[in-house]
Amino acid sequence: QSALTQPASVSGSPGQSITISCTGSSSDVGSNFLVSWYQEHPGKAPKLMIYEGSKRPSGVSNRFSGSKSGNTASLTISGLQAEDEADYYCCSYAGSSTHVVFGGGTKLTVL
């Protein structure tokens, strides 16, 4: 059982927008901590897509955006493309002892 809760799957058609939620608690997402998001294609290593809650690393499309409200962080992908089909994981700092926690992952299907 993961510390952060993500929907098991989401889907959308090319060109549409989707949002993946990541719900935690006051010990992680809801605290003064910002979430990171990772994209994982089958057989590939995870790739950082969002850090510090809403920043994109160089090379990541501006179709990817991150936000947070209360105990829930969200990843929004606009203008869905076939190549966006992958698993997505959120991650939050969770204090000096636990350090970080991951979500269980969300499988995005582009219809």
Size of the site for other proteins (CB under 8 A): 29
> Which CB atom, from 5 or from 14, has the smaller least distance to other proteins?
5
* Region 6-65 residues binding other proteins, contact defined as CB under 8 A: 32-34, 36, 38, 44-48, 51-53, 57
Asked whether the beta carbons of 108 and 84 are under 8 A apart, the reply is yes
> Which CB atom, from 13 or from 97, has the smaller least distance to other proteins?
97
The b-or-e profile of 80-105 (16+ CB within 10 A means b, else e) is beeebbbbbbbbbbbeeeeeebbbbb
Q: Which of 98, 100, 84, 92 has the alpha carbon at shortest distance from 10?
A: 84
Q: Which residues bind other proteins (CB under 8 A)?
A: 2, 32-34, 36, 38, 44-48, 51-53, 57, 89, 91-93, 96-105
